[in-house]
Structures are given as structure tokens and as C-alpha cells.
Amino acid sequence: MLAPVLARLQAVPGVASARVDSSGRFFWISFRDGADAAGGTDRALGVLGTGARVLGSAEADGQRAAHGRGDPWLGPDDVMGLSFVESRLLSVRIAGDAERRLSISPDQREALAEAIRLELFAAMERVHGEGGRRSSGWIYVEWPAIAGAAIARCCEALDDDLRRGLAEFLPGFLAR
């Protein structure tokens, strides 16, 4: 999760602010005037872990240019909102796929999307409240339980055959 990573980055001596792009792939770290930026960069890379690197100037210029055109870079207080956006998009995508594969009605699709959204929101709030996870892979482990809770939440809108179909389809949707 991004909030704990941003908090660890902001704890690096000399860091004035740490932000992340909406993909969670790029971090924008600013240093206070007079800070040891080289040492801070090395410590920040340590926080980010294996595979982290400083962008070359052309790549960094491209990221800054995108930001200047409105590409959001999120601070620690903004990343929960990103989790909500991701949850909404994922719930619509999963429900749409279920509609195509299981021939559910538009009303059933909407009930399923809302049930998934509610369960994902609850999971995101819990994980953020617990301080996050070292990897976004936690969602793959927890997804079968989230999917089961979503099916139970919208069971009034589903007949027995559809519940069984969803019970077979949904848990594997985010399988790795």
C-alpha cells in the first residue's frame, strides 16, 4: 500500500515531501534546502527496495510534463482516495465480466458491482487502517473471501443457479 511507503519516505532525513503517481510506480521526492540530497536519495531507494532506481533526466522531464498537464501526484493524505477509485473500477470490470460470462441481467450486474465495491472499500479501509502491506499482492490472497462476501451481500438479487455460477467464477477472477 502506498500510504506506509510515503510515510517511510517522508521520514528520510532531509525529505520535504514524497508523492506518488496514480499507478504507484513512480515516486516524486523533494528535499529541503541544504539537505544531503544524494544521501537522502540513497536512503529513499533503500525504502523503495530492489528494482527502484532514479529516473534519467528525459524520463523525469516526461513525468514532470505530465504532472503539469494535470496528471495527479498523490501525497499520503490522497492515497486512500486512489484505493477507492481502484475499487470502483475493479468492481465495474468484474461485474461486467460476470455479465458476459454468466448472462446476468443489467440489474444483477449493478447489484453485483455495488456488492463488490462495498466489500473492496471495507477491505481497503481495513488494510489502510492496519498500516498497509509491503506489497499489493495482498489483494490476491484476500480476494476469494472478498468475492464470497460480495456474493452473500447481493444474494437477494441472485437466483440459486447464478449464485453457484458466481461462486465458481468470482474467487478465481483475481487468481495469479
Region 84-91 average pLDDT:
94
Supply the CATH number for residue 67's domain.
Answer: 3.30.70
Region 5-28 average pLDDT:
91
Residues 87 and 158 in one domain: yes
The letter for the amino acid at 58 is: A
Last residue in a domain, options 74, 94, 119? 74
Residues 89 and 8 in one domain: no
Statement: residue 67 has pLDDT above 80: yes
The pLDDT mean for the chain works out to 90
Statement: residue 146 has pLDDT above 80: yes
What is the pTM (predicted TM-score) of this model? Answer: 0.77
Is residue 118 within 8 A of residue 84, CB to CB? The reply is no
Residues 102 and 50 in one domain: no
Provide the percentage of residues in the chain whose pLDDT is more than 70. 98
What separation in angstroms does the CA of 162 have from each of 8, 143, 151, 157, 173? 45, 19, 10, 10, 16
CB atoms within 10 A of CB 154: 22
Residues 32 and 115 in one domain: no
Q: How many domains does the chain have?
A: 2
Region 162-175 average pLDDT:
86
What pLDDT sits at residue 176? 67
SS3 letters across the chain? CHHHHHHHHHCCCCEEEEEEECCCCCEEEEECCCCCHHHHHHHHHHHHCCCCCCCCHHHHHHHHHHHHCCCCEECCCCHHHHHHHHHHHHHHHHHHHHHHHHCCCHHHHHHHHHHHHHHHHHHHHHHHHCCCCCCCCHHHHHHHHHHHHHHHHCHHHCCHHHHHHHHHHHHHCCCC
Lowest mean pLDDT among 20-29, 87-96, 131-140, 167-176: 131-140
Residues 88 and 142 in one domain: yes
Statement: residue 73 has pLDDT above 80: yes
Residues 90 and 168 in one domain: yes
